[in-house]
Chain A
Amino acid sequence: MNKPIRVLALASLVLFALLLLNVNYVQVFRAGDLNDDNGNRRARDADCSRERGPILVDGDTVARSIPSDDDLEFQRTYSQPKLYASVTGYFSCVYGTTAVENSQNSVLSGSDSRLFVDRFLDLMGNDQPKGGSVLLTIDSAAQQAAADGLDALPGDTKGAVVALDPDTGAILAMVSSPTYDPNDLASHDFSAARDSYEQLLNGPEDKLTNRATQQVYPPGSTFKLVVAAAALSNGYAPTSIVKGGTSLDLPQTSHDLTNENGSDCGGKEITLTQALVVSCNVAFGDLGLKLGADTLRQQAEEFGFGDDVLDELPAAASVFPSDLDTPQTALSAIGQFDVAASPLQMAMVAAGIANGGAVMRPYVVQEVRSPGLDVLDKAQPEVLHQAISGSVADDLTQMMVDVVESGTGTPAQIEGVSVAGKTGTANSSATRSPYAWMVAFAPADDPQVAVAVLIEQTGVDRADITGGGLAGPIAADVMQAVIQR
């Protein structure tokens, strides 16, 4: 009977080998995915009990973990919750993480591979692994100015402000209004946290959405900057003569394109500069038809349309539609029809023009440090596209200075500083008030900041809503805050 016994022994060996292989598979290959799984309470409890790294703005801590008395040893606290909520996001033991808390989670929770040495030393000394710190690019004065500006508007205001450094693409301010208090979601009182979360999620005001990056709106006349850039790059000059007048006949339709308030833009033939200064729909609609949808789309894409270029926060790509027929092209050229841009995108347009035509990749994390304050990584500014040439940028800048000095953008003026900008009042529907936009940068000769302000809704009469009037002063305040540093 020995032969069968030996055969069975071999078979048992195979069975045990299978067991060993499978255990290796689960605990080595699948371990990473299983630990990252949303439903994994072990990972979540461990994160909650760990000293999470701080998030800093201008040297001040805006998010930190403080020791707590209960089972979960550390409590995540936000010092100026509503001011920085759109950027930091929240860290909740139950609902996970968003925004910077999410994208920089591996550093903040201490599990990043760059923190390996620190973790190893912690392991040896039996300390809890600590998280590294994240320094943001935000300028606190600009952020405060933006928040104050939106708060000062009457009624239930919904809007967003984004400010960029044109040289590097660093995000100097990002505010979305109305917003929420992340402390509510980080609370260890889980039933209270659940109530807050349900309210935020199902509430009518959409406080959890970052309107600066995650929402796209019709840019209206601010899109004329893109069209002007395309025109200047295709043979036009600031003094070129373009079509003016009260209306433009839209081929293939019975409608005509008219100007705001029925004006005539100053004559049947005006300069390109004049068209931008008064924001002439007729001129730009005609330009759009002459340049063609493909040229407009290409110029828009050079400025960043169609791409989600922000790694560190969830963002929506802005849209310039494909397959446009003639009347749709004309409407698109004035930033209506289905053209949609996020405030971040329009800020990138302004920043690109300010930076001699080079559009930089936006980023919000300046530096990442180990718990011992060693610098692990620094942001490296990166050019996304050269959207327009340096000379076109100079010409367009001068035109935008004229808009602020004598055109629709006068509310954005700053004393003693030359400001370049463009207003926009985008129609949405018959029942809705228009969207009020302002994009600007300053100082025009040596730009330090580019800003985009969007007012989605506010308690002002429909007839009184203009981009310049509502958004202009906020843009000025934000730029002034940066310049005065």
Chain B
Amino acid sequence: MKWIREQPNRRFGLLDALGVTGWVGLLVARFVPIARLPFWGCVLRQRTGWPCLGCGLTRVADHVSHFHFAAAWEANPFGTVAAIGFALLAIYTVLHLGFRITAPRVELGDREAWALRVVVVLAVTSNYAYLVIKAKFPQLLG
């Protein structure tokens, strides 16, 4: 793994794009009552009782935008990590484009990149397993 220090710049990159996404997502969650929209809701959970892969993400966005991190974690742990990541990137985007503050660029080797992909897949799978247990077998969680 290589950490490469970037020169101060305002070059628009991936982190800025994700930061913009974070701004839009969290502002919408903060001021628009998404969960009350007429077509919103998990049809899969309503019909079968089984949560979908993204179960709780709306609540996560709502809670994180209101700084209720414990409630967000309860709704969807991996989603909370992602939402906080987007929030941090939103702050980074302001610092980068406004004040030319840059983050170091990380270059992974092939094996490291492969390991990171495996970690992400395992995290998503574990998160979904937790959501299923919480919805269908809550007695296992005590």
Q: Do A and B actually bind? A: no
